[in-house]
Chains A and B, each alone.
Chain A
Amino acid sequence: EPEVTQTPSHQVTQMGQEVILRCVPISNHLYFYWYRQILGQKVEFLVSFYNNEISEKSEIFDDQFSVERPDGSNFTLKIRSTKLEDSAMYFCASSEGPRFSGETQYFGPGTRLLVL
């Protein structure tokens, strides 16, 4: 069964460093997403991406964050200058699109980011 994959599974970085989290969405899916979950808290939406551009973003997704689809399979989230509060589990998800109702987002296994 096709699935979303994410690399790395864990990343430790120093505050102020740039990190890139990578995702390979399900191959025939058109919509891609990033969510994050701070330890012990609810899952929060960051950004959605369609047709090579951001279609929606939350207030969390500020200028420190960017997303890119560098090739036909990868989808990346970059954090330019990490802060301690960026420590979280980051989930990539994808959905078929473009039909709306009932469209399910399938999540990857997550990347656990720890900023020291």
Chain B
Amino acid sequence: AQKITQTQPGMFVQEKEAVTLDCTYDTSDPSYGLFWYKQPSSGEMIFLIYQGSYDQQNATEGRYSLNFQKARKSANLVISASQLGDSAMYFCAMREDTGRRALTFGSGTRLQVQP
């Protein structure tokens, strides 16, 4: 079974609007971390935001926020006030706190911001 599922291969959003990128995960571990990374066309992987499974509040980092719904096992990324520079691939990843440090990535969502 997929541990991280990103069901939107591609998304379009108008500049200055908000967009939500979906991520669902599957784990039986009570302790885990969820991460979002951005990959522009140049190829590098840029860390955006982190949510721990025991965190009471949704994580926020500037224009990025994470809509964490633990019971639904979802960790959607919300980008507010989209900018042209937000056009990129976005990957959701999970680390299960079982002594393993490996990140498991989803297949990604390609976001295109339109002027």
Which residues does A use to contact B, with CB under 8 Å?
31, 33, 35, 41-45, 48, 55-56, 58, 89, 91, 93, 95, 100-110, 112
Contacts and interface: CB of A to CB of B under 8 A. Distances in A.
Contacts of B103: 35, 43, 45, 105
Contacts of A112: 43
Contacts of A35: 103
A48 B44 contact: no
A56 B50 contact: no
Question: Which secondary structure dominates where chain A touches chain B?
Answer: strand
A104 B44 contact: no
B109 to A, nearest CB: 12
Nearest to A9: B43
Interface residues of B, number: 25
Given A42-B108, A105-B101, 6 more contacts: A31-B101, A33-B101, A45-B104, A101-B97, A105-B47, A107-B45
Given A56-B101, A101-B52, A104-B35, A91 B108 contact: no
Interface of B: 31, 33, 35, 37, 42-47, 50, 52, 54, 91, 93, 97, 100-108
A43 B43 contact: no
Contacts of B104: 45
Given A109-B43, A110-B43, A112-B43, A102 B50 contact: yes
Contacts of B105: 42-44
